[in-house]
A and B are shown apart, each in its own frame.
Chain A
Amino acid sequence: MSSDFSLFERHVDALYRSALRLTRKPEDAEDLVQETYLRAYRYRNRFKPGTNEKAWLFTIMTNVFRNRLRQRPAPTEPLDQPGTDFSIYDQLRREGMPVHLMSPEEIIVERGFGDEVKHALEELPLPMRMVVVLVDVEDFSYKEVASILGIKIGTVMSRLHRGRQALQKKLWEYSGRPRARPVAVGAN
């Protein structure tokens, strides 16, 4: 049995970095990962060999995490807000930056959007943050995320959509007031 369990060992970095995004504190993240592994150990017979062990561990971890949050009032999920579309790209274009002439990397580096990603992510409401972390950082499919969090695929997609926009909005705010530039009419 112990040799089976060693299969789970390799995901400790993934669990830890995600725990850090969820809890925001290294001590809490470490604690969360420990409890996750203890439960995985205790219930190791419930794991079906050949299925995705990383998804199984993340299911345990998100459950442990949500149980811990129960003491606090559950954050209410904001309804879809179609009017809040936001993208850094559109914002820069509106500002008159020649984004069509720049590579995405140049845009990101020039405005320093990379420096605050972790911070911005940690500011997102938890339901969105979890989905962005699971899809964008851990590379789970929508279906896997739906199963891990016990939500519908449509909910995964709408939280992801809103989460990414909110993330870009935060990065935009952190990057400082945009410099006003004349907008060339007819420019791309």
Chain B
Amino acid sequence: MGDHCEQAMRKLSVYIDRELSDAEVRRVKAHLDDCPPCEKVFDFQAEMKRLVRKECCTDDAPARLRDWVRQLATENPPARDREV
């Protein structure tokens, strides 16, 4: 692994989290375009991030909790002592 690869790898997380400056993004992208092995690693980690999000977004709030929150938003004052 060359110096450029090591430099890119250090930025892997911040890159896939979109926390790099535009200039740094361009630098990392330029390396990835030249280096398929690094590009594969980056693609895999980005996919892992998407996977975590996808898998965890399947749990919606139960209907009664949703209703309770809606009541809180519309009623004044909230039915605090009764409901909790």
Contacts and interface: CB of A to CB of B under 8 A. Distances in A.
Contacts of B19: 141-142
Interface string B38-61: 001101111111011111111111
A160 interface: yes
Interface string B51-84: 1111111111110011011101111101010011
Interface residues of B, number: 41
B72 A13 contact: no
A5 B73 contact: yes
Interface stretch (A47-55, A62-70, A161-169): A161-169
Given A16-B61, A99-B40, A137-B53, A9 B69 contact: yes
B21 to A, nearest CB: 13
A8 B73 CA distance: 8
Contacts, number: 121
Contacts of B17: 135, 142, 160
Contact of A2 (B52, B54, B75): B75
B61 A33 contact: yes
Contacts of A2: 73-76
A168 B48 contact: yes
A17 B52 contact: no
Interface string A109-120: 000011001100
Q: How extensive is the interface on chain A, given as a class?
A: 35 or more
Contacts of B69: 8-9, 12, 33, 37
Contacts of A88: 44, 48
B70 to A, nearest CB: 6
Contacts of A108: 47-48, 51
B44 A133 contact: no
A1 interface: yes
Interface in A76-114: 87-89, 99-100, 103-105, 107-108, 113-114
13 contacts: A2-B75, A6-B73, A13-B59, A26-B62, A87-B41, A100-B37, A100-B40, A103-B43, A114-B51, A117-B51, A136-B52, A137-B52, A137-B56
Q: Considering the complex of A and B, which 9 residue pairs feature the smallest CB-CB distances, nearest first?
A: A104-B47, A16-B61, A117-B55, A6-B73, A17-B59, A104-B44, A89-B44, A136-B52, A137-B56
Given A2-B75, A104-B46, 6 more contacts: A2-B73, A6-B73, A6-B74, A17-B57, A33-B69, A103-B43
